[in-house]
């Protein structure tokens, strides 16, 4: 009788323990969790997800949750989902469907967040952003600048063209009305004085501002105005010139331009001057998005012609047609021009190491999208990370530039770590990207918005994207 009572008591204890386990939606067990911030891993972890958030990260043996979906992460590595912090939707209304097809494509490549740096279809992109946020559309979280600020008769379609302070105020009113996530400014025809004023006024309204940099303005003046991020690393060559003030003055006067300007900048880049300027940028919080990918594709086209890539089955014919402008230009290059473009690319890419040494915040972005030839949304981010490592960053620094610095730039909390309270946007990999950055491409599965998507699901996303692209829908 006593033995029976003991067994019943033990059964009640174990039953009670099971009953006390908290319910969740998803558990990934026995996985190595990557701490991107500190560049380390914790093996044998259980990660618990509920209502789109991580609610617990604990040693697997201490798991106190239960869930209808349990993923075996043995031998796998879990990190935050990737962010592409510079890409473009665009090409006009007739290409809106082709741009929309890029959303599941990017997700299938592990990209759970994107920063759309302006184009001409914001009236589509803004609703996509809101639909993704509500779980109504499958794709990465979208943060967009909406149409960017430019001067009169800009070469870019869809810009808000301004020429006075009054027009600037109305433009910013418009962007606030659209509830854009940041402001983008370029310098094709925008006058230098109004360029600086645009930065100052956007700052006063609480916006982060990314932009191209006018060669007629010294970098210090741009940093002092409050630019949040310089887009594209070639601009930093001039910022690191020992003669930057003189070069800026001559550009403003119209006496230095074209190949002569490029040669002067390249010849006068000086590491001591560069580090001084870059440390000033770091102290003021000015970030840099290098976008190494597109320049590498164009510079080395003679060695790797991408016009027959298998990846093009995911890219609509309309978007592919926007690639031709840049490619037609470089196809005219003779041997000397090819050598020049390669040398120029290497010169600018090498600046990355100096930016890192100076402590400048780096954002990982690709420039992928329409116009930007064969720089493929999704795949391009993995290529960008590899290039960042090649030209001066550690794998940990490159990952941080994507998954931590991107959300931080936009003031978005709850991203960048596998930790309780964070958004459940996670990437499950077959190998550790801290050891080899190319391992970001070894995707076993993905969590987006708290929903688990295994490899078969991601492959179906790719197949469906290819089907829709072939059918022109």
Q: Is the pLDDT of residue 154 over 50?
A: yes
Q: Quick one: pLDDT at residue 7?
A: 41
Q: What share of residues in the chain are helix, strand, coil (percent, to 5)?
A: 45, 20, 35
- pLDDT tens digits, 61-104: 999 999 999 999 999 999 999 999 999 999 999 999 999 999 99
> For residue 156, what pLDDT band results from cuts at 50, 70 and 90?
confident
The pLDDT of residue 457 is above 60? yes
Other CB atoms closer than 10 Å to residue 241's CB: what's the count? 24
Q: How confident is the model at residue 1 (pLDDT cuts 50, 70, 90)?
A: very low
Numbers of helices and strands, H then E, in the chain: 20, 20
pLDDT band at 157 (very low <50, low <70, confident <90, very high): confident
pLDDT (average), residues 237-265:
95
CB 280 within 8 A of CB 367: no
**Rounded to whole angstroms, how far apart are CA atoms 140 and 106?**
7
- The encoded tokens of residue 324 equal 């031709």
Q: Is residue 268 pLDDT above 60, yes or no?
A: yes
User: Model pTM greater than 0.85?
Assistant: yes
Tens-place pLDDT, residues 101-127: 999 999 999 999 999 998 799 999 999
Calculate ∠ Cα 6-7-11, nearest 5°. 120
* Average pLDDT value for the chain: 94
Q: Can you give the pLDDT at residue 19?
A: 52
The whole-number average pLDDT for the span 276-288 is 98
Compute the radius of gyration of the chain from its Cα atoms: 24
> Is 80 exceeded by the pLDDT of residue 6?
no
What's the whole-number mean pLDDT along residues 304-324?
95
| Calpha distance 307→326 (Å, rounded) | 13
Average pLDDT over residues 182-198: 96
Residue found by looking up tokens 């064969």 in the block: 374
Work out the burial of residue 472: count CB atoms within 10 Å of its CB; fewer than 13 is exposed, 13-18 middle, 19 or more buried.
exposed
Tens of pLDDT, residue by residue over 374-414, are 999 999 999 999 999 999 999 999 999 999 999 999 999 99
What is the pLDDT, as a whole number, of residue 155?
A: 86
53 strand-pairing partners: 50, 423
Give CA torsion, residues 83, 391, 277, 287, to 10 deg.
Answer: 0
pLDDT at residue number 16: 47
DSSP string, 345-409: HHHHHTHHHHHHHHT--B-----EESSSTT--TTHHHHHHHHHHHHTT--HHHHHHHHHTHHHHH
What is the pLDDT at residue 119? 78
Quote the tokens at residue 472.
């022109």
Average pLDDT over residues 159-168: 96
Residue 99 CA to residue 4 CA, distance in Å, equals 68
């Amino acid at each position: 009788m006593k033995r029976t009572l003991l067994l019943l008591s033990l059964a009640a204890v174990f039953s009670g323990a099971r009953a006390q386990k908290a319910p969740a939606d998803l558990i990934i067990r026995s996985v190595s969790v990557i701490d991107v911030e500190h560049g380390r891993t914790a093996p044998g972890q259980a990660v618990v997800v509920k209502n789109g958030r991580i609610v617990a990260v604990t040693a697997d043996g201490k798991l106190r949750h239960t869930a209808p979906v349990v993923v075996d992460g043995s031998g796998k590595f879990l990190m935050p989902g990737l962010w592409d912090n510079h890409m473009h939707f665009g090409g006009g209304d007739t290409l809106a469907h082709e741009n929309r097809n890029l959303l599941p494509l990017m997700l299938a490549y592990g990209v759970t967040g994107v920063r759309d740096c302006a184009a001409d279809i914001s009236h589509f992109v803004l609703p996509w952003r809101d639909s993704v946020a509500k779980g109504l559309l499958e794709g990465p979280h979208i943060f967009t600048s909406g149409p960017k600020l430019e001067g009169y008769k800009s070469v870019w379609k869809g810009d808000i063209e301004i020429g006075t302070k009054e027009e600037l105020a109305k433009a910013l009113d418009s962007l606030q009305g659209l509830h854009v996530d940041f402001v983008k400014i370029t310098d094709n025809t925008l006058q230098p004085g109004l360029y600086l004023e645009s930065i100052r006024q956007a700052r006063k309204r609480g916006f982060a501002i990314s932009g191209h940099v006018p060669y007629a303005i010294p970098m210090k003046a741009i940093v002092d105005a409050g630019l949040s991020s310089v887009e594209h690393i070639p601009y930093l060559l001039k910022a690191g010139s020992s003669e930057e003030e003189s070069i800026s003055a001559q550009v403003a006067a119209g006496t230095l331009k074209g190949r002569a300007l490029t040669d002067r900048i390249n010849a006068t880049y000086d590491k001591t001057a560069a580090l001084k300027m870059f440390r000033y940028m770091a102290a003021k919080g000015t970030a840099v998005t290098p976008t190494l990918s597109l320049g590498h594709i164009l510079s080395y086209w003679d060695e790797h012609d991408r016009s027959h890539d298998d990846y093009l089955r995911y890219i609509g014919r309309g978007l592919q047609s926007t690639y031709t402008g840049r490619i037609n230009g470089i196809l005219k290059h003779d041997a000397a021009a090819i050598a020049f473009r390669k040398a120029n690319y290497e010169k600018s890419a090498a600046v990355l190491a100096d930016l890192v040494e100076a402590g400048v915040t780096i954002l990982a972005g690709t420039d992928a999208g329409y116009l930007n030839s064969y720089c493929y949304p999704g795949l391009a981010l993995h290529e960008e990370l590899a290039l960042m490592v090649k030209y001066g960053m550690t794998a940990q620094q490159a990952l941080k530039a994507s998954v931590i610095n991107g959300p931080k730039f936009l003031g978005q909390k709850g991203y960048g770590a596998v930790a309780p309270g964070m958004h459940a946007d996670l990437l499950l990999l077959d190998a550790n990207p801290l050891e080899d950055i190319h391992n970001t491409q070894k995707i076993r599965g993905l969590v987006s918005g708290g929903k688990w998507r295994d490899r078969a699901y991601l492959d179906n996303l790719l197949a469906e994207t290819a089907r829709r692209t072939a059918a022109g829908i």
